[in-house]
Amino acid sequence: MRIGRGILMAEAMRSTEDHYLADCQARLGFDLLSGAWTSVVLYALREGPRRPGELRDEIGGISQKVLTETLRRLEANGLVVRHRYAEAPPRVEYELTAPGQGLLEPISALGRWTARYADEVLAAQERDVG
């Protein structure tokens, strides 16, 4: 049945003239995951609510500014929800929404693809540069 859904998505992307539509909803997932840190932040939130400092410690290599921008973009797209607690000092946590959780499956699939083919892709890139 999964193959059938893939065919339906491909068909949904085509117009009646057999051209791909630029504004088709089927592109939404690709557009959402196109940010450099988006999938990493979503994956880091897979086990439940996290504070920004915890996310930054776990992810590594992401600046506070980029993490904040990524979390705001994810929140604006309805993929995470921000919880602010009235404590001293104030505490903020981010948590995946149902659509955010739904993206974990394709992110994991892409991770498996990367583990399998990364060396081949990197070798091809090296040949192209050299």
pLDDT digits (tens, 9 = 90+) for 1-11: 333 444 445 55
Please choose, from the candidates 29, 36, 81, the residue with its C-alpha nearest in 3D space to the C-alpha of residue 62: 36
The pLDDT of residue 12 is above 60: no
Which structure tokens are listed for 110?
């892409």
**Mean pLDDT to the nearest integer, 102-118:** 95
* Count of helices and strands (H, E) across the chain: 7, 2
Is pTM beyond 0.75? Reply is yes
Residue with tokens 């991770």: 111
